[in-house]
Amino acid sequence: MKKTNLFYTLVLLNVSFACSQIENYPPIEDFDENLFSLEKVVEGIEIPWGLSFTSNNSFLVTDKKGIMYHVSEGKKDVVEGVPEIISSRQGGLLDVAVDSNFVLNNKIYFTASVTESGSGSNTALFSAIFLNNKLSDLKILYKASPDSKEERHYGGSILVTDEFIFFTIGDRGNRDINPQNISLDGGKVYRLNKDGSIPDSNPFNNTVDSKKAIWSYGHRNPQGIIRGLNEKEIWIHEHGPRGGDEINIIKDPIKDEDVLKDRNYGWPKATYGINYSGSEITKYQKMDNVIDPFYYWTPSIAPSGMAYVDSDIYPEWKNSILVGSLKFLYLERLEFDKNGVTKREKIFPGIGRVRDVNLGPDGYVYISVEAIGIFRVLPK
């Protein structure tokens, strides 16, 4: 996939290695603050990591420290039955998603960092029945192994379709081992049937010694995931190191070809980022048999949350993507075409660490801001 051909020049400062370069992408524009306002829906949630609607006016939201809330009409109730989780630097209670048939089955899914060894932790995907503010029939559908004492890069984003569950697990801070090895967990996107079984059509289902649930690999720390523009693709974003945050398009495997060629997204063999110290990770930004990102941010914005806007409530935003910036404290809107991103817009600058972005069933955009609240975006 080619990167965007629309350019502006950004000189990277304080880069100490020989491959210092000029990065190219559209300049970010300010939005008209007179067009929108924010309505606070609920407050008092320290890190609202994930959010998923149970009806037009109620939703589940996770607090990373280990609490799940049910919010209805502005009132939040603690959900009982959440399992013991390991809350650490980047770990804790992560994403939550309701089943596509939730109205009939009350089924939900969530991710969390948990331990099975008593030393360290790793990402797990759970299913449960949610009813009357309680969880029952709790099951672990997938648990990454082994546990690690690293406290970073858990991934944890969930996408539920009519047939499958897609979820992400970061490289767990072990970039030189996990992301490029399909026999190991970490640095991957996974696909399961809703009962936790592995689809026969998964790309590595017949590969000896592989993790059969893998859908794609070579990822760093994916924390945004949405349906693609057609049913045969999903879109993710992932945190890069210093520079090199990415949006990647993951398609169904190409048939009758070497599946390794169309499943590898490069990390850490190819990246537009560098180490936090300024030294290089690799001399390659692209490689044969590695899929280029659809788009990349340099400098990093620390992307969080991701939503595709197709609501008539926002005609100016229709068919664009919204992503939160944890680092720069704003909501970013991206317009794009088949070749890449064509426009960037900075929305609500300085609002805080935008942790999650959702399009509600009522057609409104909802954003979760750490320690401040969850807001509905209203056109004026």
**Rounded to an integer, what is the distance from CA 298 to the centroid of its chain?**
18
Give the CA distances from residue 60 to residues 32, 124, 146, in Å, rounded to whole numbers and listed in that order: 31, 18, 29
Question: What's 259's DSSP letter?
Answer: G
pTM confidence score: 0.92
How do the residues of the chain divide into helix, strand and coil, expressed in percent and rounded to 5?
A: 0, 45, 55
Interval 119-140 mean pLDDT: 98
For 28-379, CATH number?
2.120.10.30
Q: Say what the pLDDT of residue 259 is.
A: 82
Q: Say what the pLDDT of residue 256 is.
A: 59
Q: Which residue matches tokens 């959900």?
A: 79
Domain ranges of the chain: 28-379
Q: Say what the pLDDT of residue 257 is.
A: 64
pLDDT in tens, 325-352: 999 999 999 999 998 999 999 999 999 9
- Cβ atoms of 179 and 219 within 8 Å: the answer is yes
pLDDT in tens, 91-117: 999 999 999 999 999 999 999 999 999
> Sign of the CA dihedral 227, 230, 234, 240?
negative
- Cα angle, residue 251 at apex, residues 247 and 254 outer, rounded to 5°: 140
Count how many Cα atoms sit within 13 Å of the Cα of residue 142 in the half-sphere of its side chain: 29
Dihedral of the alpha carbons of 36, 41, 47, 51, in degrees to the nearest 10: -90
> Sign of the CA dihedral 336, 281, 186, 126?
negative
